[in-house]
A = this chain, B = another copy of it.
Amino acid sequence: MTSLTLATANAIIEGAFARGAELGLKPLGVSVLDAGGHLVAFQRQDGASFLRPQMSAGKAYGALSIGAGSRRLEAFAKERPHLMAGVSDVSGGRIVAVAGGVLILNRDGEIVGAVGISGDTSDNDEAAAVAGIEAAGFAADGG
């Protein structure tokens, strides 16, 4: 039902946490969604806020809904706020248009899912997501 396996999702989270530790980031929440926008795995590090599940998933969901990393969504939101507001509305309020939602691409460049991270700055969240995706052997598109 998903071409993004649980094993891959767990490897991505492990890689993201490893990069977070290297960079000394704050506690992170990491969501891995399949290409249909559904959660495959989530982990929240000790001390991270209770809303990290929704915030991290919201970045990944937004990336998938537009087909671009959420950094691009953040640019859209600044240029045309009504665009992202409308997309979030019709999604049922499931989108966070901020960097840190990164597409997971296979060797053929196809989107197989997305990672969303929330916990530190948006730039650092995105860096950890990219590291996790690459550690699992996939290509990353942060937008």
Contacts and interface: CB of A to CB of B under 8 A. Distances in A.
Contacts of A2: 36, 46, 50
Contacts of A41: 41-44
Interface string A54-72: 1101100010111100000
A87 interface: yes
Q: How many copies does the complex hold?
A: 4
A122 B102 CA distance: 23
18 contacts: A1-B36, A1-B48, A1-B110, A2-B46, A2-B50, A10-B43, A35-B36, A35-B50, A38-B53, A39-B42, A41-B43, A54-B90, A55-B86, A58-B87, A62-B86, A82-B97, A83-B96, A85-B85
